Amino acid sequence: MSYLLHIDATSFDAESISRRVAGSFLDSWKGEVVHRDLAAVPIPHLTAAGISARLTDPARYTPQEAEAAALQDELVEEFLGAAAYLFTVPLYNYGMPSSFKAWLDQVVIFGRTYSMPDGPPPAAGRPALVVSSRGGSYGPGAPHEGRDHLIPNLRESMERELGLGLEFVTVELSLAPTVPALAQFLGLHEASLAQAHAQARKHGADFALRQDGAAA
């Protein structure tokens, strides 16, 4: 268990702000990375067969349940095999991209990745960074304060249930360079972006040190 699992949920490619900030983290990590690009290769949404497979003896699976269970097994094993996590999750319509929700629903499984009968979740305490860009501003006093439903959701599902040690790096006002109505906030966006790159590099170095210490 030594790799970083990077789940990338932004719809944009190289021009994505979230991807570029995640790149600053990766510059400091240096270790092995397992990367899933959910825009390039989407994960299917959880189906009825995927849910029933969790409650059925594998010997009695239907073909649909067997296929759904195989996907869940692959994703769960990949998740549990990681030592640390990097999630690139921009804010879309006040929440997470549906591609990331699809991945999360496949991985959060009662009695397997959370709510364990004999102790904490298997990934409890592992470091995880969420890099999230957002077109506007959602901080205290901003017009959209309180409308960011991404971070609270991830704290519930990934910190409280999966037990991950979540950290967040956010870039605000990412639409300022392209939307004329937000041009007046370009300086604030550039400052937020520079700070995010610096924070991401620091988290990458910190995660790498923790990994080196665990391996010593």
CB 25 within 8 A of CB 201: yes
Which residues span the domain enclosing 211?
3-215
Which phi and psi angles does 56 have, rounded to 5°? -120, 145
- Please give the pLDDT value at position 213: 65
Q: What is the chain's alpha carbon radius of gyration, rounded to the nearest angstrom? A: 18
pLDDT tens digit sequence for 112-126? 999 988 899 999 999
Checking if the pLDDT of 74 tops 90, the result is: yes
> Average pLDDT, stretch 18-47?
95
Phi/psi class of residue 136: alpha, beta or left (left: φ > 0; alpha: ψ in -120 to 50)?
beta
Model confidence band, residue 143 (pLDDT cutoffs 50, 70, 90)? confident
Number of domains in the chain: 1
Checking if the pLDDT of 197 tops 80, the result is: yes
pLDDT tens digit sequence for 54-73? 999 999 999 999 999 999 99
Name the pTM for this structure. Answer: 0.94
Checking if the pLDDT of 4 tops 90, the result is: yes
Checking if the pLDDT of 215 tops 70, the result is: no
Average pLDDT, the chain: 94
For 77, the token pair is: 């094993």
CATH number at residue 209: 3.40.50.360
Checking if the pLDDT of 150 tops 70, the result is: yes
CB 162 within 8 A of CB 113: yes
| Cα distance between residue 42 and residue 36, in whole Å | 9
- Please give the pLDDT value at position 139: 84
Contacts of 101 (CB under 8 A, 6+ apart): 45
- Please give the pLDDT value at position 216: 54
Checking if the pLDDT of 192 tops 80, the result is: yes
Model confidence band, residue 14 (pLDDT cutoffs 50, 70, 90)? confident
